[in-house]
Chains A and B, each alone.
Chain A
Amino acid sequence: MTAQIRIHDIPGGIHPPENKAQSTTRGVEQPPLPARLILPLLQHIGVPAEPVVKVGDHVLKGQLLATAQGRFSCALHAPTSGTIAEIGPAPYPHVSGLHEPAIVLDSDGEDRWVELEPIADYRALDHVTLVEKLAAAGISGMGGAGFPTATKLLSRPDHRIETLIINGAECEPYITADDMTMRHYPAQVVTGIEILMHVLTPEQVLIGIEDNKPEAIAAMREAAQHNPTIRVVPIPTKYPSGGEKQLIQILTGREVPSGGLPADIGVLCQNTGTALAVHDAVMLGRPLISRVVTLTGGALERPTNVQALIGTPISELLAFAGLQRERLHRLVLGGPMMGFTVDPQAPIIKTSNCLLAATEQELPTPPPALPCIRCGLCAEACPAQLLPQQLHWFALGKDYPQLQRYNLFDCIECGACAYVCPSSIPLVQYFRAGKGEIRAIEQQHTKAEQSRVRYEQRLERLQREAEQRERDRQARAEKAARAKAAREAREAQEQQTGAATEPDLARVKARIPTLSPEQKQLKIAAATARMALQKAQKQLNANPDNSDLQAQVVQLEQAHAEAQQAFEQATSQEDT
């Protein structure tokens, strides 16, 4: 190994009790095959996958069940062989407990694979083909929010990736899934990393692992020692060092620009679990159908890690780990800092790294919040260098401009502030709500803006059409008049040859109501105003409570009256 990588400190951070030892003593176990799997179509960030199977179809393990819908979507495969029982809303691991579209698969117990197509020599393939292979395997980020990996690899083709960072920090208490992945599959993880290197051709690869995982560090060092580009970098244990932005700062000293992507500074992050999935997809031809999940918490008799099939109901995994129902106080998917409470009926999905079945002592019900005493502990703990107490204050007052001014959107929701707050204020809850409200307002603005533009375009078109019709009518009238005049003239000529035709023609012409160009314009304006008014009135009848529409109608009425008056004045002046 060459020169030491310099470790940079991140501001703030906390040291909650780690609670990792209890789930690392049993290796990575294989839970029993579930009888029924629930496979939500949306297990990643983006657009749900589209089913390509029907209810009643028999499928084999690893067979494609649903295809990706565009780049921000991810394919879904059968985790075992069996029959499609249902396609429709099913329990989903989300805090709301709402059901989401899913494919429900009844296993046939045979666990029979489709024919797999491993790639013998990935180095012979160009990176587009490789990325396609990863996309076909349905891989999405397995550590964080679940961004489709193929898309992430291609996200900034114009930016060179200089540093590939493999996130093995796993800074959240209790979770050991990445730790166990690195301890038990180090060679596969390194191969997965090398495949990613083949795609990205980075100058260096840094595997960041918190120094509370000496076994994982040793295993990864050993597995990667043949490749001098890959460096295992132990980093100080501190939450949230595993946040993408924080890990980048620790390992490179650089910050991802606000609102930007790591690729903007030549960095790409992948999780160790994702690297393992990449290995499986390329070297074994296996799609992503299972993952390492930590089962832990005081309510479990035998906390452990398992290689669980995607779609396994949470309750079955808990039963495997010896759940003691009477001790269970809170069931959290993810860690105690950023995880969320779930229903045990829901399945685990591609992003689920940990199930925490906590007792009352472990995660006690928070005491009622006291007023903020501005102690500043939250600001000291914040890794993003925000002022949570100010944000809290503005969130309470719904002062959205100030929230944005104090960079609410740079909050990574790590919860460090709420963890240290002596007044037990649920700060993250306020920040999420604030973000949601601001987003909603922005959306409303765009919508209103869009409909305003559409409305104006429609008015313009109506006006154009009205003008056109008027012109056509005039043209027709003139033509008819001319024809009639000509006919009369001809008749007159025939009756009394040489008689004066001119006055007649003038008389005929005078009978046709001709309008000067200004009058025409005024008339059109009046017609347009009337049409706009009628339309608004119709809308108002449909939504009588809309005060905007009410105001609009009043305005339009006035506009119409004025236009009509102007037109009438113009014509009457002509008459007199």
Chain B
Amino acid sequence: MAMAPISPPHAMGSNRTRTIMLQVLGATLPGVALLTWFFGWGTLINILLASCFALVIEALILHLRKRPVMFFLNDGSALVTAWLLALALPPYSPWWLVLVATGFAMVFGKHLYGGLGQNPFNPAMLGYAVVLVSFPVEMTSWPVWRGIEELQPALTPTLGLLEGLQRVFIPGSLPADGWATATALDVVRNNSALTMAELRATEPALGGMAGRAWEWVSLAWLAGGLFLLYKRIYSWHAPVGMLGALALMSLLFWNGDGSASNGSPLFHLLGGATMLGAFFIVTDPVSSATSPRGRLVFGAGVGVLVYVIRVWGNYPDAVAFAVLLMNLCAPTIDYYTAPRTYGHARATRGMGKGQSERH
């Protein structure tokens, strides 16, 4: 009888890190599909490029760190980072942009800190922030979406595969005008003369709620997020914290539809990367707070910061910076949100090393 003494529990649940990662990837599919519908092949090319770069870089680093390469590659975490990054970048980002972003995410975001589970920052957001700061032009030129030509004949969306590949691999080979445009967040930010209604009339990008294509894509992220919640991949705390705080902020500071409008709550909830952030970024367990209560605080912090940066900061969208800032705060949040242990009158909170209070 081969019976090595094994520590209890002997039974194991069916949770596996790899399965979790794959489910996260699966949950992005509706959003990926809609992005592709609206913007053409760009999103898929992004994903493909980022995935290849991420896997190769991960394998290289694991090899250098003398870790079992296949064992860790298999956990799927590198793929998740790559996908989320690829989804955050504008479709048809030049290949080198993807490479730089992925490289930063993997090397500085993950392995410099010791690999999976050790990184204080969300690797995808770190990579994103680095290229956003370094290459603002490329990062803010979102291609126009399918259907815009009917509203604004001067613009043509890039829908062909060949055309798309050309944009990615030989940047500058196609005319720069007429295919990229400002996002809805940009438009509202830069507007100071028109009321929201007038703005909506002149800028088709605004759409009905938060930017024509974006509102649909956002709803797709929401659907994916609900699936993950249903699957109990993560708890509701971080997404609810972020969306709740963002809604509250945009309600408090909503100054109507005048020319100085900050945008309605709906605009903020469905605009930009809010939904992607709420269901795929702040839910990254590694760089978030630990306890459910901590995650609620973490998410709320991100929500507040997103609004602050969007409205009063220098960047039109802010999820990446907000997440990175809150990553910095996560350990502190952990200290102050530890749950109260069974049999203890109070939770041990704060930074001290003292013993916890007993009943």
Contacts and interface: CB of A to CB of B under 8 A. Distances in A.
A173 B11 contact: yes
A406 B5 CA distance: 28
Given A331-B3, A337-B11, A422-B20, A410 B342 contact: yes
A374 B286 contact: yes
A385 B343 CA distance: 10
Contact of A376 (B10, B75, B235, B355): B235
Contacts of B12: 364, 366, 418-419, 424
A384 B16 contact: no
Contacts of A426: 7
Interface string B91-108: 000000000000000000
Contacts of B5: 95-97, 340-341
Interface in B335-359: 338-344, 348, 353-356, 358-359
B6 interface: yes
A460 B296 CA distance: 62
B290 A245 contact: no
A338 interface: yes
A330 B339 CA distance: 36
A338 B355 CA distance: 28
Interface stretch (A158-166, A252-260, A492-500, A547-555): A252-260
A372 interface: yes
A383 B341 CA distance: 9
Contacts of B290: 374, 376, 379, 387, 389-390
A402 B286 CA distance: 20
Interface in A180-199: none
A371 interface: yes
Residue of B7, B17, B72 most packed against chain A (CB within 10 A): B7
A423 B72 CA distance: 11
Interface residues of A, number: 75
B285 interface: yes
Interface stretch (B111-119, B153-161, B252-260): B111-119
B70 interface: no
B175 to A, nearest CB: 45
B110 to A, nearest CB: 11
Instruction: Specify the main secondary structure of chain B where it touches its partner.
Output: loop
Contacts of A432: 7
Choose among A173, A255, A328, A344 the residue with the greatest number of B CB atoms under 10 Å from its CB: A255
Nearest to B4: A341
Q: What is the interface of chain A mostly: helix, strand, loop, or mixed? A: loop
B77 interface: yes
A375 interface: yes
B15 A422 contact: yes
Given A260-B359, A337-B11, A387 B344 contact: no
A383 B343 CA distance: 11
Interface residues of B, number: 50
A278 B342 CA distance: 31
Given A258-B344, A376-B235, A419 B13 contact: yes
B292 A16 contact: no
With most chain B CB atoms within 10 A of its CB, the pick from A364, A402, A423 is: A423
A424 B6 CA distance: 13
Contacts of A256: 342-343
A421 B15 contact: yes
A157 interface: no
A97 to B, nearest CB: 8
B192 interface: no
A24 interface: no
Interface string A417-449: 011111110101100100000000000000000
A62 interface: no
A280 to B, nearest CB: 31
Interface string B217-235: 0000000000000000011
A420 B8 contact: no
A370 B75 contact: yes
Nearest to A16: B11
Interface of A: 11, 14, 16-17, 95-97, 173, 245, 249, 255-260, 325, 328-332, 334, 336-341, 344, 356, 358, 363-368, 370-377, 379-380, 383-387, 389-390, 401-402, 404-407, 410, 413, 415, 418-424, 426, 428-429, 432
The 6 A-B residue pairs whose C-beta atoms are closest, nearest first, are A415-B9, A257-B359, A258-B343, A429-B7, A336-B11, A422-B15
19 contacts: A16-B13, A249-B342, A258-B342, A258-B343, A330-B3, A337-B8, A341-B4, A341-B5, A366-B6, A370-B72, A374-B288, A379-B292, A387-B338, A405-B353, A413-B8, A420-B15, A422-B15, A428-B9, A432-B7
Interface of B: 1-13, 15-17, 19-20, 71-72, 75, 77, 115-118, 234-235, 285-286, 288, 290-292, 295, 334, 338-344, 348, 353-356, 358-359
